Amino acid sequence: MTTPMAVAEAARIHGRRDVRVGREPVVAPGPGEVLLRVTGVGLCGSDLHWFEEAGIGDAVLSRPLILGHEIGAVIADGPRAGQRVAVDPANNCGHCEPCIEGRENLCLAMRFAGHGATDGALRTLMAWPERLLSPLPDTIGDDEAPLLEPLGVALHALDLGPVPPGGRAGVYGAGPIGLLLVQLLRARRVSTIVATDKLSHRVAAAKSMGATDAFLVDDDAGPELTPQRLMARQIPVDVAFEVSGSDAALSDAISAVRPGGRVVLVGIPAGDRTSFEAAVARRKELPLLECRRMAASDLPRAIEMVAAGSIDLRSLITDRFPLARVSEAFAALADRRGLKVIVKPAAE
């Protein structure tokens, strides 16, 4: 049901590159839910797929959808009113086989904010399950709170491809999650951290955040390997994280990882297709692991690490927009001119 007196500003995507802001009634919190005032939403690569393709993978736009799953908020009602929280966007069922096994991120009946038929956080007010809210310390600002979810994804990726202290790792794609992986690897005292990207400002950011070797690579260079790409492939790593979603980055990862190593795929490919040189991967007997969002315990872990000063989120934020300028925010995301874009729905 709706509460006629409660009205929110919300941004809905209606089709490819068609995002519109309007006023609409707020859906009242259901059992176990609370009302949130959304203070910050991070835009990420999956949002870009929805924006440019009106879908992602096998999920397609069936109705105007509110995007946004990287969320910082303040609880607006109930006993915890006024408490600042980070929001886990994955509302799992708790009853299916993966949930019972403790792998909630693989829930068969998942309701994920800003995906499919579940509205996300690009609105001033939203209802969400209270069990999925983690309190924030004062040391983590409102603009930083949305980055805790991508940090959780990076933590999950690192759990899938653990690198011991003194080990060697490669991060192929230095967007926000790739840069968070670089920071996590540095915090783990990994001896070699290779990072690549096709954008020079991301390469520079990777270097400043702890990469021992950072290379500017050209995904459009064709079959000829540029000197930078060749050098990146020649540094052997124990674990390779593909965080670009491009076949070129996956090829770099497979080429660089040692025989018997591990490749973790974090990036989401355009068109829902990935290809790679099977012979190279087969000769190295490489397991290729897909990273699916984050585990249930990763958001509290992320909060703890940032509060302890192990990870710097603030330096990743390059663009901030009010909700009324959300189209500009998506344009900045599509142009990839910065690092992290934050939309501030309730800050207007």
How high is the pLDDT of residue 73?
97
How high is the pLDDT of residue 1?
39
Tokens of 303: 């909060």
Tens-place pLDDT, residues 148-177? 999 999 999 999 999 988 999 999 999 999
- Cα separation of 136 and 44, whole Å? 21
Quick check: 294 and 69 in contact, CB under 8 A? Answer: no
Q: Is the pLDDT of residue 220 over 80?
A: no
Q: Backbone phi, then psi, for 206, in 5-degree steps? A: -60, -40
In the block, residue with structure tokens 């540094």: 235
Tens-place pLDDT, residues 265-308? 999 887 778 888 889 999 998 999 999 999 989 999 999 999 99
How high is the pLDDT of residue 3?
41
Tens-place pLDDT, residues 112-152? 999 988 999 999 999 999 999 999 999 999 999 999 999 99
Tens-place pLDDT, residues 320-342? 999 999 999 999 999 888 999 99
Rounded to 10°, the helix 176-187/148-160 angle is 60
Between 171 and 221, name the one with better pLDDT.
171
Tens-place pLDDT, residues 45-77? 888 988 888 887 778 888 899 999 999 999 998
Domain ranges of the chain: 2-143+313-347, 151-290
Q: Is the pLDDT of residue 37 over 50?
A: yes
Element (H, E) at 156: helix 148-160
| Averaged pLDDT score across all residues of the chain | 91
Tokens of 130: 């209270």
How high is the pLDDT of residue 51?
86
Give me the CATH topology for the region 151-290: Rossmann fold (3.40.50)
Between 150 and 218, name the one with better pLDDT.
150
- Cα separation of 18 and 54, whole Å? 9
**3-class secondary structure, 5:** strand
**Architecture in CATH for domain 2-143+313-347:** Alpha-Beta Complex (3.90)
Quick check: 26 and 35 in contact, CB under 8 A? Answer: yes
Using the 8-state DSSP alphabet, how is residue 334 labeled?
H
> How many other C-beta atoms can be found within 10 angstroms of the C-beta atom of residue 228?
16
Q: Is the pLDDT of residue 109 over 90?
A: yes
Residue 315: half-sphere exposure toward Cβ, Cα within 13 Å? 16
